[in-house]
Amino acid sequence: MTLTLVWFRQDLRLADNPALVAAARAGTVLPVYVHDPEAAGAWPPGGASRWWLHHSLASLAAALAERGLALTIRHGPALAALRTLARETGATAVRWNRRYEPALVEQDRRVKQALADDGLDIHSHKAALLHEPWTLRTGQGRAYQAFTPFWRALCRDGEPDRPLPEPAMHAPPSAPTGESLASLQLLPRVRWDEGLRAAWTPGEAGAHERLGAFLRNRLGHYADARDYPATAGTSALSPHLHFGEVSPRQVWHAVRERCAAGTGTEPLADSTGKYLSELGWREFAHHVLFHFPELPDNPLNRRFSAFPWREDPDGRLREAWQAGRTGFPLVDAGMRELWATGWMHNRVRMVAGSLLVKNLRLPWQLGERWFWDTLVDADLANNSLGWQWVAGSGADAAPYFRIFNPVRQGERFDPAGDYVTRWIPELAGLPARYRHAPWTAPADVLAEAGLTLGRDYPRPIVDLKTSRQQALEAFQRVKQGA
């Protein structure tokens, strides 16, 4: 009977796990996690991701223990750790599920070749995406750089495979010694994670609990509610998907089945289509990153390499944006939500990104790095594509002239200011009409609200009209190649 090492990474689940299923069919299973952050190159997990990883690994270890298996934890490098484990246990096969970040693709290539040279049976599997990034091509055989034709091609390719059930697993007679989860030192030494603990339940069970709640309570309203940050209108499954606690195939088919079981009304069907297209956007992000590995660091549109960014020598503008002290309530509420919970509503992400890149005119890479460290769903493909979309420099980018006005966005998508006052309680005394532009409130209204601008809440750090015009002029020069 074959003993197979199953190398867990960002597939921290037991159901719909192709590597685990294949190993269980072949014989006994030894689940392994190798902590090897250096393998990610310039993009090791940020602080919020490390917090999530700790708790997700704890959940996986507990689920395996209930089934009589132990999760063996070792420190990297991955190749050395896997070789040592194979030697210690007599394992003759190693299986894992593929990842698609550039540095990890290269690591997988090296590990696969070296272990095969050692005489081990090596297989990798598709588990993180609906379609492999190399399977969809334009009519000219090129990678897609626009979402709409990519989405059409994905839909033409047919329904994704059905999810695999959790396999029956058999443990080897004895498991090798491993490191403790605490030895990975993933949790912060200064405990800033209270808000994360209150907001999230990492792990496979938490993922399915959140998915079930979304299907029952929010899917039918998703098309209309998803843009309003004060309401729980989205699935908030992104961190669970990133860590592989639920697979995109599981989500896709669960949404399809919920729609089929519904009344057939137009709102549910419309919401289903819109939600599935968001899974498609995730696929698109990985497609672009796989084919354009420079995406996280350099503008895909090379003309933007010469963009005239503003100087911020003392970091005042950057720090105000990071701390949620820009004076624009919708942006500041989002940045404070991010710091407290490790997550931010997608529309607010776009508005906050636009303010940084286009009004403050600071490089998009600054925002990308901040989100990487503070988001629990920090995903290299999605984060990079999103920031280049906002900057206008990437695949399927927003036009250079699209500059979100944070006041108008707030008035449209948070009309009562409920989201703003949830995260900026110092503005709660203002009437709703002033909550997105408190500097426009008359002196007597500010006094009645007990609010002194510049003391209790900052004045805007930039003039929206002037900075918008300056950004348009800068983008026009880039467009013309000046």
- Decide if 326 contacts 32 (C-beta within 8 A): no
Q: Provide the pLDDT for residue 288.
A: 97
Query: Rounded CA gap, 85 and 265, in Å?
Result: 54
Confidence of residue 206 (pLDDT cuts 50, 70, 90): very high
CATH code reported for the domain at 129-161+205-291: 1.25.40.80
Whether residue 185 is predicted with pLDDT greater than 70 in this model: the reply is yes
The proportion of the chain whose per-residue pLDDT surpasses 70, expressed as a percent, equals 99
Quick: pLDDT tens for 16-38.
999 999 999 999 999 999 999 99
Tokens 């997608």, residue located: 346
Q: Provide the pLDDT for residue 391.
A: 93
Quick: pLDDT tens for 54-98.
999 999 999 999 999 999 999 999 999 999 999 999 999 999 999
State mean pLDDT over 216-230: 94
The two structure tokens encoding residue 183:
């030895």
Q: Provide the pLDDT for residue 263.
A: 54
7: which residues sit within 8 A by CB, 6+ positions away? 19, 32, 33, 34, 78, 82, 94, 95, 96
Q: What are phi and psi of 345, to 5 degrees?
A: -55, 140
Please give the positions annotated as active site: 278, 281, 309, 346, 364, 387
CATH code reported for the domain at 2-127: 3.40.50.620
**Residue whose C-alpha is closest to residue 472's, from 388, 322, 362, 358:** 358
Name the residue ranges covered by the structural domains of the chain.
2-127, 129-161+205-291, 302-479
Quick: pLDDT tens for 375-429.
999 999 999 999 999 999 988 877 777 899 999 999 999 999 999 999 999 999 9
Where residue 379 falls (left for φ over 0; alpha for ψ -120 to 50; beta otherwise) is: beta
State mean pLDDT over 304-322: 95
Q: Provide the pLDDT for residue 266.
A: 55
Whether residue 1 is predicted with pLDDT greater than 90 in this model: the reply is no
| Mean of pLDDT over the chain | 95
Whether residue 436 is predicted with pLDDT greater than 80 in this model: the reply is yes
C-alpha distances out from residue 237 to 242, 330, 376, Å: 9, 23, 11
State mean pLDDT over 112-126: 98
Whether residue 482 is predicted with pLDDT greater than 70 in this model: the reply is no
State mean pLDDT over 105-128: 98
- Decide if 181 contacts 175 (C-beta within 8 A): no
Query: Rounded CA gap, 301 and 309, in Å?
Result: 16
Cis peptide before 299 (omega within 30 of 0): no
Confidence of residue 475 (pLDDT cuts 50, 70, 90): confident
C-alpha distances out from residue 182 to 51, 61, 198, 271, 372, Å: 12, 13, 21, 42, 23
Q: Provide the pLDDT for residue 353.
A: 98
User: Do the domains 302-479 and 2-127 match in fold?
Assistant: no
pTM: predicted TM-score of the whole model, two decimal places? 0.96
Q: Provide the pLDDT for residue 236.
A: 97
Quick: pLDDT tens for 260-283.
887 545 567 888 999 999 999 999
State mean pLDDT over 121-136: 96
Strands 27-35 and 121-125: unpaired
Interior angle at CA 196, CA 349 and CA 44, nearest 5:
70
Strands 2-8 and 27-35: parallel
Q: Provide the pLDDT for residue 479.
A: 76
Please say whether the structural domain 302-479 has been given the CATH code 3.10.620.30: no
Quick: pLDDT tens for 228-254.
999 999 999 999 999 999 999 999 999
Q: Provide the pLDDT for residue 262.
A: 73
